[in-house]
Structure 1
Amino acid sequence: MRGWAGRHALTVLAVATAAILAVMLYLPVGIVFSQAVFSEGTPTLSAFRAVLADPFYTGALAGVLADPLAIGAHVEGVLEWLRAGAPVPRMGLFGFTAYQAALSTVASVLLGLPAAYVLATYEFRGRRTIRSLTILPFVLPGIMVAVGFYAMFGRDGTLNAALDFAGLGPVDFIGYSPLAVVIVAHAFYNAPLVARVTLAAWESVDRRAVETARSLGAGPGRAFRDVVVPQLLPAVLTGALLTFVFTFMTFPIVLALGGLGLATVEVWIYDRISQLAVAEAATLAVLETVLTLGLTYAYLRYESAQAGMSRGDASPAREPLFPDLRTALSARRLAVLAYGAVAVVVFVGPMASMVVGGVTDGGGFTLRHYRFLAERQATGAAYQTLPWPAIRNSLLFGVATLAVALPMGVTISVLTVRSRWGTAIDALAMVPLAVSGVVFGIGLLEGLVFGTDIGGFRLQVTGAAAIVAAHAVAAYPFVVRNVSPLLADLDPALVESARALGASRARALLDVELPLVASGIVAGAAFAFAISIGEFSSTVILASGSDAYTMPVAVERYLGRRNGPAIAMGTVLLVVTAASFVVVDRVGGRFEA
């Protein structure tokens, strides 16, 4: 029996992964998507034609998409546009969504790369803790990020208080440029993602190749450009792609900070569903998914082409950040300090402002918000939202999600790297990143909570097991994206040698491959835990009863009463998850090569 398990372990894991995806992802999404191509049971593409030919959605391309074969008219239109001085064409909803996503991606990369550089290059007190906490912004519910940004950048916020102290007067940052604030908020979410993904690659750079380049006469800049950058580029593009996809499908941040005036496709899908225009919403969701999956597939082809580049198992030795006063004044270290000041404003400021909001009100310092939570826990009835069950459930769901998402992610990574159909499998596996969260939530509600008849069998899934499975579906792509590039760089001869010595495929994976990609697995585990802790939509939909709510759900329920307890609960979420990430990183670090 043990021998059979060793020979077929990967097959069993692959089947189990496919079953989870079929029930928790493809079925719910397929139910919603079917409403875009069926009208009263009849297949139709009328909804797609209506959306593509509408300038509100596709801008200047609407005429081309309405009649692609009218080439002469399209050419004449381009000539008229050039004769008019080539003014900025109307972007439409899809164009504006891509525009803000591109700006958000640039901002996230510019903020995330320096963080990865500092953490990979320098040694300083608290480096491990800061490394662990880089993922912390990723767990915050969108509404809490909006609260934090209002508390930081609003007219009465922390930043204006500092400007007023300096005699510079208040500035209405959000009112003056809501798009800029939305982009900074997106960077708050996604720059840590870029930093975390890039850091895992930076710590795996082959230091022997750098030393060889230096010994052959290359300067530090040339060695970095010719040796280090090619090894980092796939990870940087991974972070940029994920950021673009996330910000293309952005919803709570834009809705809270910009409203319908800055509507993205995702926000408009939500608006259409709220107006019961389900077919139009489903059509937009299909088009959005096609675009994001296309981008994902193009990147995966690039990543596949980069496979096999040499990587080492240790990064260059880190140097002290401030060894003495003379080096502390160097230009490079001054640049690190300048970046630290920017990071304090963008990352620490909103979270600190939120923490301050939990202990203040219009009359100054107060602990009554936390007193409310304590009294609710001590005297609350079963039907009330209690703080301790929310904390307990979040941690339990997070650990259970790790137990499911890590095997799923590693299994898919092995299939994508070692199979000839790897790129196609990888693209299909990235569907959770490309599907509208609003559509996924509606699909879960219609397909699993209400139940679906399949071959005379009533499929209905709710409760803790369904929540963990939904969290794992949302989390495993991050494991794949962290593990696959490192796995692709391993020499296949290592596995072949292990197999020749009698090891099963599963034993070769456990004893040879996984220890060499441990840094990617740890990074993926941190992301998976973070996503589970911060997940809201699937949790609130699948929870069957009042005993399965989590910290983000508790935050939302307290917001329905008054903001003080919600901000206090959000602060508890920050503290608990910060401590959890430090533990995950410290424990996981023991297994890194």
Structure 2
Amino acid sequence: MSLEDRPVVDRFSSGVISAWLERHALLLAALVTAGVLAVMLYLPIGVVFLEAVLDDGAPTLGHFADVLTDPFYFGALADVFAEPLAIGTHLGSLAGWLAAVSISLTLEYPIPGVDLPVPWIDLETPGVRKGLFGFTAYQAGLSTIASVALGLPAAYVLANYEFYGRRTLRSLTILPFVMPGIMVAVGFYAMFGRSGTLNSVLGVVGFGPFAFIETSPLAIVILAHAFYNAPLVARLTVAAWESVDERTVETARSLGANKRRAFRDVVAPQLTPAVLTGALLTFIFTFMTFPIVLALGGLQLATVEVWIYDRIQRLDYAEAATLAVLETMLSLGLTYAYLRYESAQAGFSQASSSPSTEALFPDLRTALSPRRLAILGYGLVALILFVGPLASLVVGGFTDGSGLTLGNYAFLLERQLEGASFQTLPLPAIRNSLLFGGATLLIAVPMGVVISVLTVRAGRSGAIVDTLAMVPLAVSGVVFGIGLLQGLVFGLSLPGGWRLRVTGAVAIVVAHAVAAYPFVTRNVSPLLANLDSAMVESARALGASRVRALLDVELPLVANGIVAGAAFAFAISIGEFSSTVILASGSESYTMPVAVERYLGRRSGPAIAMGTVLLLVTAASFVVIDRVGGRYEL
């Protein structure tokens, strides 16, 4: 029976229900999103954090007092926390520590045929005790400096020069950021290890081999962090550079400013917000670093995150939870600062006249100019740091120490053909990664869009909603995975004898979606905030409801941001390791990163081969989504 043939009362009821749903669609979506976050995000985090404030079931702050006053964790600040009122004593100690700081030269790698070894500048602070938190912030600061220093030249080249493959290279700039940390560590071992690619190249000219990783693990960790985050800094800065109105630069030049002065007074101030945003995000990410430090530095370079993992492995949940609470408070404060800063920068219109680009190497004479030579020098550094680990990873899959071979891939094929249920098979790992990535998109994209709409429309109170929604950026995957395992996977008792459990593939997809949706929000919110409200008002004046105006006017105009967020979400799901390795305990729900870790514990060759497959799948998916998103660019 068609709608016209139904009784008038039924048609009226259907119309009323449809109208009510349309009026309250956003509210219902917000309630569903809040419910998902409450159960799948805040509840698991709360399960872990309860360990920090309970002692045999009784509330206590003793765990915090023990950690805050322990010099191992807070170094010199432990005395301040132990005796906060002894201000004079602390100031005297600070003066002594500052007097003890000195810059010295430490001797590192000897060069064959040269009497003196190569000096490395080091900052000695013999009177200062950093503690675990201090060292974590120290390495995060160094990593941030390295990431910005390496990311800005890349942004300059991508924003100002045209060359073959520029768009594909720009699409791939985010690939290192979404790679699993375990793969970055394997790639750096393949590049900088004693038998790695760099030592092989240096051996051809009579140098080495050098023990880069063994003798300078902190430097390698910092470079690995720069590998991760410099492309993120570059991507943010390129977007800001392309939004600079070329007419303002031309106006400055017409008033007598040279190129350097015009850049300093016109372009640089507009790039500063993007650079600071990238630096702040880099500091947050490297402060919570886990797999890279664990693989390349071990406990001797342990960060807070690595130590939390070690405490959990030793079943010391109270201490691990206390450290997790303190780490989350610090990172959440930094995340809030980032959100406030981003909000302060919102509302600036996009340029109507973007900067023009020029050919990178139009002729030989131009190629020999100082600027082009500097770009070539940077290209060599980028080749070693960014392409080297990835290329070494790919080459490592086809070698076994004695030459080229297909044995590593043959091992994966044999493992798949054997098909034993207890084994980690390559095809199920690839299938699961793709399925989980697709399912993550179905959850993370709607959640991210709903949160974006709420934060943009909420005005000043939107900052609070945004901060609460961005908690996944401030909570580590290790803490979140443990919370899911102890809470929802093991099951929580509910009133009335009910028991809530989320297990298997569902738990993994939820973990991936929770980790990914903030990136959708971060891509969509600025675009929504910059839309002309007159277009929405025109649609409303023509009879469109608020939801219809959102679906028909606003979302199509920010489709490029939605697609970019989807690319992030899919790639993050493909590469997620920290929570997945905890949740994929069975033989059916493992993913490619988990397969790499399991193979790595037995044979490095198949692990590298599996990692190469993961790299190719991630790169291909990200480029495809990014290219599709280009069709929607405004």
The TM tier, using the shorter chain, reads: over 0.9
Over the aligned positions, Cα root-mean-square deviation in angstroms equals: 2.3
In 2: Cα distance, 1:115 partner to 1:158 partner: 24
Cα deviation, residue 177, structure 1: 1.1
- After superposition, residues 113-262 of structure 1 pair within 5 angstroms as 113-262=152-301
- The CA distance in 2 between the partners of 1:508 and 1:219, in whole Å, is 47
Alignment-derived partner of residue 3 in structure 2: none
Shift of 1:137: 1.9
In structure 2, how many angstroms separate the alpha carbons of the residues matched to 1:455 and 1:215?
Answer: 74
1:64 to 80, 88, 91: 80
With the length of structure 2 as denominator, give the TM-score of the two structures. Answer: 0.88
Corresponding letter in the other structure for 1:452:
L
> Counterpart of 2:76 in 1: which secondary structure?
helix
Partners of 1:233 and 1:458 in 2: how far apart?
51
Which whole-Å CA distance do the structure 1 matches of 2:557 and 2:630 have between them? Answer: 13
Alignment of 1:507-546 (within 5 A): 507-543=548-584, 545-546=586-587
Verify: 1:434 aligned to 2:450, yes or no: no
Q: Which residue of 1 aligns with 2:515?
A: 474
Counterpart residue identity of residue 148, structure 2? V
**Aligned counterpart, 2:13:** none
Shift of 1:554: 1.4
Change (3 A) 1:83 1:315: closer
- Once the 2 structures are TM-superposed, how far is the Cα of residue 538 of structure 1 from its aligned partner? 2.7
Residues 1:353 and 1:539: Cα distance change in structure 2 (over 3 Å): same
Which stretch of the first structure deviates more once superposed, 129-138 or 514-523?
A: 514-523
Aligned residue pair count? 593
2:290 and 2:303 in contact (8 A); partners too: yes
Q: Which residue of 2 aligns with 1:569?
A: 610
Shift of 1:398: 1.6
Distance 2:140 2:597 in 1: 26
Task: State whether residues 571 and 621 of structure 2, in contact with CA within 8 Å, keep that contact through their aligned partners in structure 1.
Answer: no
What is the CA distance between 1:504 and its match in structure 2?
2.9
Contact 1:196–1:523 (Cα < 8 Å) also in 2: no
Q: What letter is aligned with 1:135?
A: I
Q: Which one is further off, 144-153 or 46-55?
A: 144-153
Are the aligned partners of 1:478 and 1:528 in contact in 2 as well (CA < 8 Å)? Answer: yes
1:310, CA displacement in angstroms?
Answer: 2.8
Give, in whole Å, the separation in 1 of the partners of 2:220 and 2:322: 30
Q: Contact 2:247–2:353 at 8 Å: present in 1 too?
A: no
Asked if residue 74 in structure 1 is aligned to residue 74 in structure 2, the reply is: no
**More deviation, 255-264/408-417:** 408-417
Question: In structure 1, how many angstroms separate the alpha carbons of the residues matched to 2:163 and 2:96?
Answer: 60
Distance change in 2, residues 1:63/1:294 (3 Å)? same
Shift in alpha-carbon separation, 1:199–1:209, aligned structure 2, 3 A: same
| Superposed CA offset, 1:184-211 (max 9, x none) | 0111111122223333333444445444
Question: Of the candidates 52, 55, 77, which is equivalent to residue 36 of structure 1?
Answer: 52
Counterpart-to-counterpart distance in 2, 1:580 and 1:187: 23
Q: Which amino acid aligns with 1:574?
A: L
SS at match of 1:365: coil
Partner of 1:463: 504
Higher mean displacement: 297-306 or 67-76: 67-76
- What pairs up with 1:313-462 in 2 under 5 angstroms? 315-419=354-458, 420-456=460-496, 457-462=498-503
SS at match of 2:493: strand
| Partner SS, residue 90 of structure 1 | coil
* Distance (Å, rounded) in 1 between the aligned partners of 2:99 and 2:593: 54
What is the alpha-carbon distance in structure 2 between the residues aligned to residue 126 and residue 403 of structure 1? 31
Counterparts of 1:381 and 1:24 in 2: how far apart (Å)?
A: 33
Task: Tell me, in whole angstroms, the C-alpha distance in 1 between the residues paired with 2:101 and 2:594.
Answer: 52
Alpha-carbon distance between aligned partners in 1 of 2:526 and 2:237, rounded to the nearest angstrom? 11
- Kept after mapping to 2: 8 A contact 1:208/1:312: no
- In the alignment, the residues of structure 2 paired with residue 156 and residue 543 of structure 1 have an alpha-carbon distance, to the nearest angstrom, of 33
Runs of 5+ consecutive residues of structure 2 not aligned to the other structure: 1-16, 103-124
Offset at residue 213 of structure 1 (A): 4.4
In structure 1, how many angstroms separate the alpha carbons of the residues matched to 2:453 and 2:208? 57
1:449-475 deviations in Å (ceiling 9; x for gaps): 101113333110123333222111101
1:108 aligns with 2:181: no
Q: 1:317 to 1:102 in 2, by over 3 A?
A: same
Q: Residues of 2 paired with 1:513 and 1:333: CA distance?
A: 43
In percent, how many aligned pairs have the same letter?
76
d(CA) in 2 for partners of 1:549, 1:313: 48
Give the aligned partner of residue 105 of structure 2.
Answer: none
User: In the TM superposition, what are the counterparts of 1:82-93 in structure 2 within 5 Å?
Assistant: 88-93=127-132
Q: CA–CA distance in 1 between the matches of 2:259 and 2:535?
A: 32
- Partner of residue 632, structure 2: 591
Q: Secondary structure at the match of 1:537?
A: coil
Task: Tell me which stretches of 4 or more aligned residues in structure 1 moved more than 6 Å.
Answer: 82-86
Q: 1: CA distance between counterparts of 2:555 and 2:424?
A: 41
Q: Secondary structure at the match of 1:421?
A: helix
Instruction: Work out whether residues 493 and 500 of structure 2, in 8 Å CA contact, stay in contact via their aligned partners in 1.
Output: yes
Q: Deviations over 1:499-521 (max 9, x none)?
A: 33433333333444444444433
Going from structure 1 to structure 2, the CA distance change for 1:225 and 1:80 (only over 3 Å counts) comes to closer
**1:83 Cα deviation after fit:** 7.1
Equivalent residue, structure 1, for 2:111: none
1:216 deviates by 4.9
Which shifted more, 377-386 or 95-104? 377-386
Structure of higher CA gyration radius: 2
Are residue 499 (structure 1) and residue 540 (structure 2) matched? yes
How far apart are the structure 1 equivalents of 2:506 and 2:99? 62
Question: Given residue 304 of structure 1, which amino acid in structure 2 is its aligned partner?
Answer: S
Q: Cα distance 1:442–1:529, how it changes in 2: closer, same or farther (>3 A)? A: same
TM-aligned CA distance change 1:38 to 1:498, over 3 Å: same
Superposition deviation, residue 232 in structure 1: 3.2
**8 Å Cα contact 2:481-2:583 kept in structure 1:** no
Corresponding residue for residue 621 of structure 2: 580
Paired residue type of 1:23: V
Task: Give the counterpart letter for 2:284 in structure 1.
Answer: V
Give, as a single letter, the amino acid of the residue that structure 2 aligns with 1:246.
F
Separation in 1 of the partners of 2:486 and 2:511? 15
Instruction: Work out whether residues 402 and 525 of structure 1, in 8 Å CA contact, stay in contact via their aligned partners in 2.
Output: yes
For 1:421 and 1:552, the matched residues in 2 are separated by 39
Residue 421 of structure 1 aligns with an amino acid whose one-letter code is: S
